[in-house]
Amino acid sequence: MTQVQAKDRHSEAIWGVVLILAGGAFLLSNFDVLEADTLWRHWPLAFVVVGILKLTAAHSVKDIGPPMWWIFIGAWLYVSVFEYFGLGFSRSWPLLIIGWGISTLWSAFTRKPHHVWD
């Protein structure tokens, strides 16, 4: 099995688990066993979970960037939705620019040098 095929299987397995958990939560909500509204309020954590799962599949240092973006966006959304530290969307958007800058630096230092004569 190639690395691409293994990555595709890993992604499919992740989405399968996510769908099963979401369906189970909604089914339990229909039977009044679980209150889905309470769970649904924490939707930004889905970004964090996806990021963590992608992070576990990273094979090198340069593969860490995209999963960290998922985690960062999820954390930013969570903080903004619940207005932790007084940071709603209108006050926390500069964090996205800071994250973009960190991501750009990360890419610059983890990219293989490109030589024109190669």
Is the domain of 47 the same as that of 69?
Answer: yes
Per the CB < 8 A criterion, the answer to whether 42 and 25 are in contact is: no
CA–CA dist 24, 2 (Å, integer):
33
Statement to judge: residues 100 and 49 lie in one domain: yes
d(CA 41, CA 87) in angstroms, rounded, equals 17
Whether residue 104 is predicted with pLDDT greater than 80 in this model: the reply is: yes
* Whether residue 51 sits in one domain with residue 85: yes
Q: CA angle 59-113-4, nearest 5°?
A: 30
Query: Would you state the pLDDT for residue 73?
Result: 95
Task: Say what the pTM is.
Answer: 0.67
pLDDT tens readout for residues 38-63: 777 888 988 998 898 888 888 887 78
Indicate if 34 and 72 belong to the same structural domain.
no
Total number of domains constituting the chain: 2
If asked whether residues 15 and 49 sit together in one domain, one would say no
Q: Name the more confident of 36 and 89.
A: 89
Position 1 confidence tier, pLDDT thresholds 50, 70, 90: low
Domain match, 18 and 52 both: no
pLDDT of residue 117: 63
My answer on whether 19 and 66 are in the same domain is: no
Domain that holds residue 68: 42-118
Q: Measured between alpha carbons, how far is 13 from 99 in angstroms, rounded to an integer?
A: 29
The tokens for 80 are 């903004």
